[in-house]
Homo-oligomer: A and B are copies of this chain.
Amino acid sequence: MTQESMPLSHIGWDSFNRLPVTEKAPYLAGSDGRVFHVLLAQQFNRAALDSLGGLATRIRRTAKTEEGMTFLRGLMANKRAMLYFTQPSSRTFLSFSSACQILGVNVGEVRDTATSSEFKGESQEDSLRTFSSYFDMIVMRTQVGGLAEHTAWVLSNTERPIPIINAGSGKDQHPTQALLDIYTLQRSFEARGGIDGKTIVFVGDLARGRTVRSLAWLLTNYTGVRMIFVAPEPLQIGRDILNLLDAAGVTYELASDFETTIPEADAIYMTRIQDEWDTTEGESRKIDTSRYHFRPEYLDRLGPHAVILHPFPRRQEIPTAIDHDPRAVYWRQMRNGMWIRAALMALIFKKERLIDGYYASVR
């Protein structure tokens, strides 16, 4: 998982910030070309996704025994991670903190800088640099687009650069969500030749769901993947993503009728209406989204090996009656997030050989 690297400390912030997202990856690697900061889905190519998924699986299987858990817990017991979550998300927070616990990483939290008076008059840069001085990595979730990138850049220019993991940043990037989605697809298609050649149907609010955007991008690493984007017109996927897909030579279709796409799907990626991004009061309530729900009767139209994913939280788009169908993998998908995040941290701190060694020794 190495690639050409260029030191982030050798480029000005404005120049870095203005780079197209596809050209930022080299600056985020360590000097040895390995993954260091994890900020963008675009940092991960096919080889990186394969090795990350493999590592997640080895961690997951190792954790099945008491002895394996004890081994994992000792791996990073000397490391401390700051979970800087100023945008609340218990879901992602618990997933990361559980991943930390699996590897023995000690955790500190900052959650409420927005409301705390102690930060008045202090620059966010100083706050983050302060916090960084006690930790070995920062996992950062914030409503401020680009803050994770900026922090990575700031810390790369200090005596004590530490890796930043983007756990969701503004409307834009949520790379570990995309990675867990890929991992779920890898596991789902393990016995069917992997992700290559599969048809993925995306459904719902495709305009604003950052998970869809990142996942679509990551899928361009695979050959022969066909994507079908099913959404009401105002929530259809953005032209910018389609341009990327065009450039990558990916086959895709836009559709508005969900039901007819179901038999073609190897995976259906459901999403909820992201009305928290509405610019006017309740604009998305005017759209009839009920046609983009997965109705129980659709199960009959779904292929026997197809799977249903959802990044959660869900509202009405998937009734709980569907949860018991073995093709509904969204609960497993949630736990996959814990494993892939553990794998990512293990990779950043170069623990994969120790894990591989232990894994080989007990098989």
Interface residues of A (CB under 8 A from B): 66, 69-70, 73, 77-78, 80, 82, 88-91, 94-95, 97-98, 101, 106, 108, 110, 112-113, 116-119, 121-123, 125-127, 129-131, 133-135, 158-160, 272, 276, 312-315, 320, 331, 334-335, 338
B66–A73 touching, CB < 8 Å: no
In the assembled complex, how far is the CB of residue A23 from the closest CB belonging to chain B, in whole angstroms?
27
Q: Which of B122, B158, B313, B338 contacts A331 (CB 8 A)?
A: B158
A334–B130 touching, CB < 8 Å: yes
Q: In whole angstroms, how far apart are the Cα atoms of A336 and B84 in the complex?
A: 22
Known contacts A133-B334, A313-B122; decide if A82 and B108 are in contact (CB<8 Å): no
In the assembled complex, how far is the CB of residue A80 from the closest CB belonging to chain B, in whole angstroms?
6
Q: Which of B77, B97, B112 contacts A108 (CB 8 A)?
A: B97
B66–A78 touching, CB < 8 Å: yes
B335–A118 touching, CB < 8 Å: no
Known contacts A312-B130, A335-B134; decide if A118 and B98 are in contact (CB<8 Å): no
A131–B73 touching, CB < 8 Å: no
Q: In whole angstroms, how far apart are the Cα atoms of A57 and B125 in the complex?
A: 28
Known contacts A314-B122, A334-B133; decide if A108 and B116 are in contact (CB<8 Å): no
Q: Please indicate the chain B residues that have their CB under 8 angstroms from the CB of A117 in the complex.
A: 88, 276
A90 to B, closest residue via Cβ: B110
B78–A313 touching, CB < 8 Å: no
A94–B82 touching, CB < 8 Å: yes
Q: In whole angstroms, how far apart are the Cα atoms of A244 and B328 in the complex?
A: 46
A106–B113 touching, CB < 8 Å: no
Q: In whole angstroms, how far apart are the Cα atoms of A160 and B338 in the complex?
A: 15
Most buried by B among A80, A91, A127, A158: A91
Known contacts A119-B313, A315-B122; decide if A94 and B134 are in contact (CB<8 Å): yes
Most buried by B among A82, A118, A125, A276: A118
In the assembled complex, how far is the CB of residue A156 from the closest CB belonging to chain B, in whole angstroms?
13
Known contacts A117-B276, A315-B121; decide if A108 and B89 are in contact (CB<8 Å): no
B91–A331 touching, CB < 8 Å: no
A313–B121 touching, CB < 8 Å: yes
Q: In whole angstroms, how far apart are the Cα atoms of A142 and B33 in the complex?
A: 47
In the assembled complex, how far is the CB of residue A98 from the closest CB belonging to chain B, in whole angstroms?
4
In the assembled complex, how far is the CB of residue A284 from the closest CB belonging to chain B, in whole angstroms?
12
Known contacts A70-B78, A77-B70, A313-B122; decide if A335 and B94 are in contact (CB<8 Å): no
Q: In whole angstroms, how far apart are the Cα atoms of A123 and B320 in the complex?
A: 10
Q: Please indicate the chain B residues that have their CB under 8 angstroms from the CB of A95 in the complex.
A: 134
Q: Please indicate the chain B residues that have their CB under 8 angstroms from the CB of A131 in the complex.
A: 90-91, 94
In the assembled complex, how far is the CB of residue A351 from the closest CB belonging to chain B, in whole angstroms?
12
A313–B118 touching, CB < 8 Å: yes
A134–B82 touching, CB < 8 Å: no
Q: Please indicate the chain B residues that have their CB under 8 angstroms from the CB of A66 in the complex.
A: 78
